[in-house]
Chains A and B, each alone.
Chain A
Amino acid sequence: MPLIEAKNLSKSYGAIRAVRDVSFVVDRGEVVGFLGPNGAGKSTTMKMLTGHLRADEGAAVIAGFDVADQAVQAKQHLGYSPEGAPAYGEMTVREFLRFAADLRGLADPAGSVRQTLELCRLNEVAAQTIDTLSKGYRMRVGFAQAVIHDPEVLILDEPTDGLDPNQKFEVRRILKEMAARKAVIVSTHILEEVGELCTRVIVIAKGEVRCDESREKFLARGSDLNAVFRQLTA
Chain B
Amino acid sequence: MSSSEKISSPGLKPFTAMVRREFAGYFRTPLAYVFLAVFNAFAVSLAFFVGGLYESGIASLDRFFLYHPWLWAFLAPAAGARLWAEERRQGTIELLLTWPITVWQAALGKFLAAWLFLACALLMTVPVALTVGWLGDPDWGVIIAGYAGSLLCAGACLGIAAIASALTRSQVIAFVTGFLACFILVLVGYGVFDELLAGLLGSAGVDEVRRLGLWRNLEPFTLGLVDVRPIAYFLSVAFAGLGLSTIIVERR
Contact A78 B7 (CB under 8 A): no
- Give the interface size class of chain A: 35 or more
Asked whether A104 and B14 contact (CB < 8 A) given A78-B98, A181-B2, the answer is: yes
Residue picked from A91, A100, A105, most chain B C-beta under 10 Å = A105
Known: A50-B98, A71-B102, A99-B21. A87 touches B92 (CB 8 A): yes
Main secondary structure of the interface of A (DSSP, over half): loop
Q: Scoring A residues 90 to 129 as 1 if CB is less than 8 Å from chain B, else 0, what string do you get? A: 1100000001101111111000100000000000000000
Known: A75-B99, A76-B3, A106-B7. 15 other contacts (CB 8 A): A51-B97, A80-B98, A82-B91, A82-B94, A84-B91, A87-B95, A89-B90, A90-B28, A90-B29, A102-B13, A102-B14, A103-B99, A104-B100, A105-B11, A107-B8
Closest to B17 in A: A102
Asked if residues A99 and B17 are in contact (CB atoms below 8 Å), the reply is yes
Convert B79-103 into 0s and 1s, putting 1 for each residue whose CB lies closer than 8 angstroms to a CB of A: 0000000000011101101111110
Chain B neighbourhood of A181, CB < 8 A: 2
Decide if A20 is an interface residue (CB 8 Å cutoff). Answer: no
Chain A nearest CB from B43 CB (Å) reads 28
Please name all residues of chain A whose beta carbon is closer than 8 Å to the beta carbon of B11 when the two chains form the complex.
105
Q: Inside 8 A of B98's CB, which chain A residues have their CB?
A: 50-52, 75, 78, 80, 82
* Cα-based distance from A82 to B3 in the complex (angstroms): 20
Chain A residues contacting B6 (CB-CB under 8 Å) are 106-108, 112, 149-150
Residues A90 and B8 in contact in the complex (CB < 8 Å), given A51-B98, A52-B98: no
A5 beta carbon closer than 8 Å to chain B? no
Q: Are A103 and B3 in contact (CB under 8 A)?
A: no
A204, B185: Cα distance in complex, Å:
52
Q: Complex: how many Å from CA A188 to CA B94? A: 19
Name the A residues within 8 Å of B7 (CB-CB).
76, 104-107, 149
**Which residues of A are found within 8 Å of B1, using beta-carbon distances?**
150
How long is the Cα–Cα vector from A106 to B21 in the complex, in angstroms?
Answer: 17
Is B242 in contact with chain A by the CB < 8 A criterion? Answer: no
Query: Contacts A91-B28, A102-B17, A103-B14; is A150 near B92 (CB within 8 Å)?
Result: no
In angstroms, Cα B2 to Cα A82, docked, is: 22
Kindly list chain B residues whose C-beta atoms are within 8 Å of the C-beta of A84.
91
Provide the residues of chain B in CB contact with A50, threshold 8 Å: 98
B10: chain A residues within 8 A (beta carbon): 104-105
B158 at interface by CB-CB < 8 Å: no
Contact with B along A150-169 (1 / 0, CB 8 A): 11100000000000000000
> Mask for B143-171, Cβ within 8 A of A = 1, else 0?
00000000000000000000000000000
CB distance from A43 to the nearest CB of B (A): 10
Interface presence of B56 (CB below 8 A)? no
The residue that A150 contacts in the complex, of B3, B9, B29, B100, with Cβ under 8 A, is B3
Q: How far is the CB of A30 from chain B (nearest CB, A)?
A: 16
In the complex, B25 has a CB within 8 A of chain A = yes
Tell whether B4 is near chain A: CB-to-CB under 8 Å.
yes
Bound: A71/B90 CA distance, A: 23
Contacts of A88 in B (CB 8 A): 21, 25, 90, 92
| A residues near B17, Cβ cutoff 8 Å | 99, 102-103
Smallest Cβ distance from A63 to chain B, in angstroms? 8
